[in-house]
Chain A
Amino acid sequence: MNLMKKQEQDVQKINRVEVTPQTRIDENGEAFTLTVELPGVSEKDIALTLENRTLTITAENTVEVFKDYTLTLTEIPEVRYRTAFELPEHVDTEAIKATNRNGLLVLTLPKREEVKPRRIAITAG
């Protein structure tokens, strides 16, 4: 019985279509900000992995099923979101921060101190 259940789950996973989520990249002197649209995805269904300098984001959405109702219009499929980024050398991978709010995953990728813009003082000669 348990085995059957597991198989069903596996089949469901295979059936999900893989899509690239809508993503936006912003940059300022301090950091890069990656904003990924993941509607219907809860934190526990998001996986962030960093391998060498490749940051991979995978997530699965949950489409609610209303009991005793009939589905009359379907536009939201069950999908697996996947996207990957090659991070530049000057991103401080140790200091990456991630937050999830209103279906937006926001990643802050701070730049290393040495590449941040700084003022150079001029001394009168």
Chain B
Amino acid sequence: MRAYLSSINNPWRVFDELMNDVPFEVFNNEWRARNGQYPRVNVWENEKGLAVEAEVAGVDPDKLDVSVESNVLTLKGEKEQAGGTKSEFQRSFSLPFELDNEHIKATAKNGVLTILIPRKTGVEKRKIAIEKL
């Protein structure tokens, strides 16, 4: 009954239904990307490391900052807009493995930033002995 009432009384019903149809994450990313707060990325992975491509049109490569701390990759930048105003953006990725912040390779071309980061080596795999009871 309550559900029925809320559906007829809720002026935002149509909007809610629409939002339910759209995966929120996608909608949110798209919205943020449109507002220039959130560069779109493609992430590639293999046993050696990570390759990331990010769309950063209109961002001066000198104003781009790529940093790695343990397993978190952060992209930061400053985008210049009309009339000299600036907007900053930041995006972080948490990865299931540690990255080597000594050997990051980043290049920018045609408004696309390409980053190559190897996995941290020397992270020893430990075999855990299972005790028999």
Using CB atoms and an 8 Å cutoff, list the residues of chain A in contact with chain B. 22, 24, 26, 35, 37-42, 63-64, 66, 68-76, 100, 102-104
- Complex CA gap A3/B110 in Å reads 32
> B106 within 8 Å of A by Cβ?
no
B41 contacts chain A at the CB level, 8 A cutoff: yes
Q: Is B112 an interface residue (CB 8 A)?
A: yes
Binding site of A, secondary structure by majority: helix, strand, loop or mixed?
Answer: loop
A70/B45 contact (C-beta < 8 A), A26-B82, A75-B40, A76-B40 known:
yes
- The CA-CA distance from A64 to B29 in the complex, in Å, is 21
Q: How far is the CB of A79 from chain B (nearest CB, A)?
A: 11
Can you offer 24 A-B residue contacts whose CB atoms are under 8 A? A22-B57, A26-B83, A35-B58, A37-B57, A38-B57, A39-B55, A39-B56, A39-B57, A42-B110, A63-B42, A63-B53, A68-B46, A70-B46, A71-B42, A74-B42, A75-B29, A75-B33, A75-B41, A76-B41, A76-B42, A76-B53, A102-B61, A102-B108, A104-B111
Q: Please report B residues at the A interface, Cβ cutoff 8 Å.
A: 29, 33-34, 40-46, 51, 53, 55-61, 81-83, 108, 110-112, 114
**B82 lies within 8 A of A103 (CB):** no
Closest to A21 in B: B57
